[in-house]
Chains A and B, each alone.
Chain A
Amino acid sequence: MLKYVKTLNSMGLKARPLGDWEFEVLTPKERVAETLSYLKGSGFETFIHLMCVDWIDDGEFELVYNVESYGEAIQALVKTRIPREKPSMMTMMNLWGLCQVYEREIHEFFGIKFEGNPNLEQFFLENWMDLPPLRKDFDTKEFSEELFGFKEDESHGIKAPERIEYK
């Protein structure tokens, strides 16, 4: 594992081991593709996941690519930060086709646009018009109360059904 950390550091990226079988690489947005293709070339062939953290106070999204090498039993977390305003990122579909689904999900839940991804339609949600729900400034409780809350007087001008009393 240390050799990868050393090589990545020599490439000018910040890498450090996290545990017995895990290390992280911090890269700028432009160098993600380069880092990932280096890792893929050196045995990290399985794409485990892509996730996103909304650092609202820093005004940034953090994207975490997780790849794994079965040969050496090491996992690499490639982290990058992109600005929160008009967020966009290039797609990694040419490295792993699997990224298509993950990017579509992140587009839906965080609103990050992935350039080059052909299909970023709604996936898990239907008819969603609010803020992307996993952003920190989206208030799920307020949304739930607004949409699903039971209000006795909410009858749409129609008489509400009477309760059937069971003996």
Chain B
Amino acid sequence: MSQSQWSELVNYFRGRSMWMLHYCTGCGAIELPPVMTSRWDMERFGIIPMATPRQADILLITGYLSIKTLKRVVYTYDQMSTPKWVLGFGSCTINGGIYWDSYNVIDRLDKYIPVDIYIAGCMPRPEAIMDSFIKLREMVQKGEAKGYEKYTKNYEWYKANQDHVFGRSEPVLRKAEEVTKSA
């Protein structure tokens, strides 16, 4: 068996068994229980929720990410073992969605971690979620979903973006000098 045939076989099996991380980062998580349970039943496709990042293959970013959550998400993503994939759920991960002007919600997810598939909608219907799983399976089986390689290759860029948000050492807006020290 040649190298490419072997990797094709591996990719086939990877696509048939994708485990997602049981982590609800935002309100899109409310549509996950219907997808998991009897009406849509994603276990048909070999997708089951796993308890810890070590065991998971897919990271679902279900909706908006506050700064605090983004930090946890980055840790989580770093803890997952390759190959791993990220699904961005809903408009909030694409451009901030309805929270585009909020002071605590990031606007664009793929600035911080690589995203393999975006699902549009607020919130995406279970059908859309299932469809994205099928699409991800196709991409994995064809060997196209390579977000994790992109992350390793451009780690400095992602890290700089992450640090821009987490590692603030001075106020973002100039006016903040007026903040009373007593407060």
CA distance in complex: A161, B71 (Å): 21
Query: Cβ of B6 < 8 Å from any Cβ of A?
Result: no
- Contact for A161 among B100, B108, B154, CB less than 8 A: B154
- Taking a contact as CB atoms under 8 Å apart, the answer to whether A129 and B170 are in contact is yes
Query: Cβ of B119 < 8 Å from any Cβ of A?
Result: no
* Set of chain B residues within 8 Å of A167, measured between Cβ atoms: 144
- Taking a contact as CB atoms under 8 Å apart, the answer to whether B157 and A158 are in contact is yes
Q: Which of A112, A133, A139, A144 has the most CB of B within 10 A?
A: A144
* Set of chain A residues within 8 Å of B103, measured between Cβ atoms: 133, 138, 140, 143-144, 147
- Contact for B101 among A141, A155, A159, A160, CB less than 8 A: A141
Interface residues of A in 141-161 (CB under 8 A from B): 141-144, 146-150, 155-156, 158-161
Considering only CB atoms and an 8 Å cut-off, how many residues of chain A contact the other chain?
38
- Contact for A148 among B114, B150, B165, B170, CB less than 8 A: B165
- Contact for A156 among B100, B105, B157, B178, CB less than 8 A: B157
Interface residues of B in 59-94 (CB under 8 A from A): 67-68, 71
* Set of chain B residues within 8 Å of A130, measured between Cβ atoms: 171-173, 176, 179
CA distance in complex: A131, B102 (Å): 14
CA distance in complex: A114, B173 (Å): 26
CA distance in complex: A131, B183 (Å): 10
- Taking a contact as CB atoms under 8 Å apart, the answer to whether A126 and B68 are in contact is yes
* Set of chain A residues within 8 Å of B114, measured between Cβ atoms: 161
CA distance in complex: A166, B146 (Å): 11
Least distance between B34 CB and chain A CB atoms (Å): 28
CA distance in complex: A146, B170 (Å): 13
* Set of chain B residues within 8 Å of A166, measured between Cβ atoms: 139, 144
Residues of B bordering A, CB below 8 Å: 67-68, 71, 96, 100-108, 111, 114, 139, 144, 146-147, 150, 153-154, 156-158, 160-161, 164-166, 168-173, 175-176, 178-180, 182-183
